[in-house]
Structure 1
Amino acid sequence: MSDTLHIKQQLQALLREPLQDWNAFEAILQPVSYKTGELLSEAGKTSQAIYFIATGIVRVYTLHNGKEISLDFSFPGSFCASYASFITRQPAAVNIQAIMPVTGYAFHYADLHQLYHASHQSERIGRLIAEQQYLRKYNRELSFLQYSAQERYAQLLQEHPEVIQHIPIKQIASYLGIEPESLSRIRKNMNATE
């Protein structure tokens, strides 16, 4: 399956109705690729695109007192953006970085907004992507209140087993809100109970 077909299926799933404006969306897709460690979007600069990740993994992180805090990971088949910066046109507070080589597509701000003005369905897709991003953030915040770090880690592994292979332990620990040593203990306990 081509990557653009995968995007079409994702948009179709969001809409839950026939996707009439696919040709217009496909026309503004810009292929992108990033090497491990490269930034898709940089803190302090205004975000110019929403990305669809076809292959690879990216992380969203910020710096606090000189320490990197991982806020989110995006896996193949998902959209990611420094969304607050993208919609407000203000400098981003976060970095988006390739953890491993990444390929995908970018929807650039000007192209997307031109499409929104031309098509009600396209505008609706933009709103649905924003709602999806909100729900991801809401569920993540809720998980910190409802689940232990071990439960959050187990859920991450269940949803994305490739995490262990490709994401450094300190980034996973930061994402879980714990120190790497605590994650090592959690992993040891989980392995002992298997």
Structure 2
Amino acid sequence: MTGTSAIRDQLQALLQEPLKDWELFEAILQPVTFKAGDFLSEAGKTANAIFFVETGIVRVYTLHQGKEISMDFAFPQSFTTSFASFITRRPAAVNLQAITPVQAYAFSYDDLHKLYAVSLQSQQIGRLMAEQQYLLKYNRELSFLQFSAQERYAQLLKEHPEVVQHIPIKQIASYLGIEPESLSRIRKNMSNPD
């Protein structure tokens, strides 16, 4: 682990004012590691931690009629959890699974709420993180309405070029809302434009 400075930088960027209570927040961070295939949290269980992915890639997926549907990927320098479960304290509908080996930091629901009780700035950070997650989901939904699968794939590659190296085509296709065969055609068209 290279340390918690990346988390501090992200929180500072969210807050846009001096991060006075960093030491309190840093104290609740726990380094965790996962092998490829390990679950960070599972559907049917309540999500008790938020993870900051330092290295590696995490897939967020659910099962529908026996088929895995990729809903999101957490790339390095991002936060992830089953946010609905974490907030409501109900069993999660999604799995978080390491696609590659993952090094991360975790902070628990209980520790975060104890921090909220003593730090007004931490409450503000929690609200800003929730707003950020909402905007990410909103933009993803909007992209399905405004852009073709090929455009969404091109954007994914632009933002995260490591996708094609580490994520199976079946999982990427599911994330884009298409079949693997369609993604194969898109990739062929993009590598051999007319």
TM normalised by structure 2 equals: 0.98
Structure 1 counterpart of 2:96: 96
Please give the alpha-carbon distance, in whole angstroms, between the structure 1 residues aligned to 2:95 and 2:133. 16
Which AA in structure 1 matches 2:104?
G
Structure 1 counterpart of 2:178: 178
Please give the alpha-carbon distance, in whole angstroms, between the structure 2 residues aligned to 1:31 and 1:50. 12
Alignment of 1:43-122 (within 5 A): 43-122=43-122
Structure 1 counterpart of 2:35: 35
Please give the alpha-carbon distance, in whole angstroms, between the structure 1 residues aligned to 2:173 and 2:36. 20
Which AA in structure 2 matches 1:103?
Q
Structure 2 counterpart of 1:162: 162
Unmatched tracts of structure 1, length 5 or more: none
1:145 aligns with 2:116: no
Q: Which runs of 4+ in 1 moved over 3 A?
A: none
Q: Given that residues 3 and 54 in structure 1 are in contact (C-alpha distance below 8 angstroms), is that contact kept between their aligned partners in structure 2? A: no
Please give the alpha-carbon distance, in whole angstroms, between the structure 2 residues aligned to 1:89 and 1:3. 29
Please give the alpha-carbon distance, in whole angstroms, between the structure 2 residues aligned to 1:35 and 1:128. 30
Please give the alpha-carbon distance, in whole angstroms, between the structure 2 residues aligned to 1:86 and 1:186. 36
What displacement does 1:3 show?
Answer: 3.2
Instruction: Show CA shifts across 1:44-84 (max 9, x none).
Output: 00000010000000010000000000000010000001000
Please give the alpha-carbon distance, in whole angstroms, between the structure 2 residues aligned to 1:101 and 1:171. 17
Structure 2 counterpart of 1:190: 190
Which AA in structure 2 matches 1:86?
F
Instruction: Show CA shifts across 1:104-158 (max 9, x none).
Output: 1001000000001111100010111111111110000000000000000000000
Please give the alpha-carbon distance, in whole angstroms, between the structure 2 residues aligned to 1:3 and 1:137. 28
What displacement does 1:193 show?
Answer: 1.9
TM normalised by structure 1 equals: 0.98
Aligned residue pairs total 194
Moved more, 128-137 or 1-10: 1-10
Aligned sequence identity (%): 75
What displacement does 1:2 show?
Answer: 3.2
Which AA in structure 2 matches 1:186?
I
Please give the alpha-carbon distance, in whole angstroms, between the structure 1 residues aligned to 2:3 and 2:93. 29
Please give the alpha-carbon distance, in whole angstroms, between the structure 2 residues aligned to 1:128 and 1:50. 14
1:129 aligns with 2:129: yes
Q: Given that residues 49 and 107 in structure 1 are in contact (C-alpha distance below 8 angstroms), is that contact kept between their aligned partners in structure 2? A: yes
Q: Secondary structure of the residue that 2:182 maps to in structure 1?
A: helix
Please give the alpha-carbon distance, in whole angstroms, between the structure 2 residues aligned to 1:37 and 1:77. 20
Please give the alpha-carbon distance, in whole angstroms, between the structure 1 residues aligned to 2:104 and 2:182. 34
Q: Given that residues 49 and 81 in structure 1 are in contact (C-alpha distance below 8 angstroms), is that contact kept between their aligned partners in structure 2? A: yes
Q: Secondary structure of the residue that 1:193 maps to in structure 2?
A: coil
